[in-house]
Amino acid sequence: MTTTAEAGQSSGSKPSGDDDTWAKLVPLDTKFSDMEIKCDDMVICSEIKPSSLEKHEWCRITKNLGQGSATIHNQSSDAILVDEAVIMKDCAVDIMSGSEIVPGPEGQGYLQYRFTIMPAPESRTQLLKISIDPEHAKCSICLNIWHDVVTAAPCLHNFCNGCFSEWMRRSKAKHQHVLCPQCRTTVQYVGKNHFLKNIQEDILNADAALRRPAEDIAVLDSSASIQSNLIVGSKRKRRSNMLSPPLEERDSLRLQCPQCVANIGGYRCEHHGAHLQCHLCQGMMPFRANLQVPLHCKGCDRPFCGAYWSSENVTQGVSSPVCSRDTFRPISERTVTRIPSITHEMNRHEQDITQRCIVHMGKTVPDVVAEWFMRFSNREIDRSRMPLNHAEMITASTHVCNDCYDKLVGFLLYWFRITLPRNHLPADVAAREDCWYGYACRTQHHNEEHARKRNHVCRPTRGNHHF
């Protein structure tokens, strides 16, 4: 149930501007509305527990000189928490943008609020010039706002310099190519992006809560190795047979499109016609914009040749690899037999719990996926955290690659788990406390005890991913 907006009660001081909101208390539980603070000195009257919609006066917030901080006065009958510090009745403490405030003692089910200072009018003008959602300015490796941003080509995805440098070092040690961490395209070039760096700095100046700790920045800078544009080469094994074609000639033959060689299905490629390279087999196919056959996966925007060559009745290429139809099919034609390894952020403990819940209910993984895909199709679940592109456009007839289908299944199983009542969970599981960082927790990937002990199939209440 969504409550109406509540701006609080003025203590008598004049508003800080012409009806301008200079700060907000943002509840981490999205069922409740933001508390807008428009006066220099305001008594906050709001809900303090999710179990009760009754409002209580519990604190006074006073604007400090300048735009950087405020003072919170505890006016409740009990202690409150500010950034985990206990503030007793009638006491006060300074708060900054991003401070987390709980209107009651720890462990008693009180709501959590995040104090956010709104940008000054001149900063808002700058934000309008930028016109970018911070979610679109995040590195897909560390999931934070870019730091010293670099761009990989030809896919043009962006990352922190330190994150991508570390990825590149590990890739070169294990593989012939460096693949983009976001789309798995072979990276040919990488370089600093000074334009996006300016946007990165403007975003952080507008919202200080998005800044990382200094120690995290130091670690990133120590890993950064990209100082100028780099050509990212690949390790190739040259044959000793001197009678074999030169490397460049062999590559051009290997990448030749079957319809460049012969007329197939009444079509032969024009000289120098546009082509796409299949992400999976690396083979070539013609780019025919008016053809009603999907060439790109809706989930990741990468090109796949399976549907195209199937429509042309081509099962093998003369001088280029060709994918089978099974690699790129509509969702309605796909089946799942197991929980994909990427489910629940690859946390095997959570995957095992989901499997146990499904078995206990007398169902199978395909049963649950089919049920929740029906809810997905009926728009009964929120698609905002769906790890696929074009989430609003995806239907049963949408073609997706194998990787994106696994991501879709993992997304549906997340919703299956998060909506299960606690009494449907195994006893040892129901007793676990939620991790503050929920599904976005990084510790679960390298700390086995933490991954097992805490529930991570939940929404974050801390960090940059909170709802």
Give the pLDDT confidence of 251-285 residue by residue, as tens digits. 444 457 888 888 998 998 876 566 777 888 888 88
Task: Give Cα separations from 456 to 343, 362, 413, 433, 442 (angstroms).
Answer: 12, 24, 13, 9, 10
Q: What are the φ and ψ backbone dihedral angles of 161, each rounded to 5 degrees?
A: -55, -50
* Cα separation, 254 vs 333, whole angstroms: 31
Cα–Cα dist 69/54, whole Å: 29
Q: Report pLDDT for 5.
A: 31
Tokens for 352? 């095992």
On the question of pLDDT at 233 being above 90, the answer is no
Class of domain 247-323: alpha beta
Residue 258 vs residues 265, 275, 312, 435: alpha-carbon distances, Å = 11, 11, 11, 53
Q: Note whether 355 and 339 are within 8 A (CB).
A: yes
Residue 406 DSSP symbol: H
Count the residues in the chain. Answer: 467
pLDDT tens digits, one per residue of 349-387: 999 999 999 999 999 999 999 999 999 999 999 888 899
With vertex at residue 305, the alpha carbon angle to CA 303 and CA 310, rounded to the nearest 5 degrees, is 150
Would you say 325 and 427 are in contact if contact means Cβ atoms under 8 Å apart? Answer: no
Q: How confident is the model at residue 419 (pLDDT cuts 50, 70, 90)?
A: very high
Query: Which 8-state DSSP code applies to residue 74?
Result: E
Helix, strand, coil % over all residues of the chain, rounded to 5: 30, 20, 50
pLDDT of 269 reads 84
Confidence band of 388 (pLDDT split at 50, 70, 90): very high
- Which candidate, 88, 226, 233, places its Cα nearest to that of 163? 226
* Residue 254 amino acid letter: R
Alpha-carbon dihedral angle through residues 427, 433, 437, 439, given to the nearest 10 degrees: 0
List pLDDT tens digits, range 73-131: 999 999 999 988 999 999 999 999 889 999 999 888 899 999 998 877 655 555 555 56
d(CA 268, CA 260): 6
Comparing 135 with 249, the larger pLDDT belongs to 135
Question: Under 8 Å CB-to-CB from 170, ≥6 apart: which residues?
Answer: none
CA pair distance 260, 262, nearest whole angstrom = 6
pLDDT value of residue 84: 87
Q: Which fold has domain 124-231?
A: Herpes Virus-1 (3.30.40)
Domain residue ranges in the chain: 9-118, 124-231, 247-323, 333-453
Fold entry, domain 9-118: Tumour Suppressor Smad4 (2.60.200)
Q: Is there a contact between 103 and 76 (Cβ–Cβ < 8 Å)?
A: yes
Q: What is the mean pLDDT of residues 453-462?
A: 89
Rounded-to-integer distance, Cα 419 and Cα 139, Å:
29
Question: Which residue type occupies 256?
Answer: Q
Tokens 């907006």 belong to which residue?
A: 5
Question: Is it the case that residue 1 has pLDDT exceeding 70?
Answer: no
Query: Exposure pattern of 264-292 as b/e (b: 16+ CB <10 Å)?
Result: beeeebeeeeebbbbbbbebbbbebeeee
Q: Is the pLDDT of residue 9 over 90?
A: no
Long-range Cβ contact pairs of 304-312 (< 8 A, separation 24 or more) = 304/278, 304/279, 304/280, 304/328, 304/399, 304/401, 305/276, 305/278, 305/280, 305/281, 306/278, 306/280, 307/399, 309/258, 309/285, 312/259, 312/264, 312/265, 312/267
- % of residues, the chain, pLDDT over 70: 84
Residues of 40-63 as b/e, b for ≥16 C-beta within 10 angstroms? bbbbbbbbbeeeeeeebebbbbbb
| DSSP-assigned states of every residue in 127-163 | HHHH---GGGGB-TTT-SB-SSEEEEETT--EEEHHH
DSSP 185: P
Please name which of 62, 50, 76, 86 lies closest in space to residue 13, comparing C-alpha atoms.
Answer: 62
Q: Taking Cα atoms as reference points, which of 326, 330, 354, 360 lies closest to residue 342?
A: 354
| Span 292-343, pLDDT tens digits | 899 889 998 888 999 999 999 998 766 678 999 999 999 999 999 999 999 9
Let me know if the fold of 9-118 is the same as that of 247-323: no
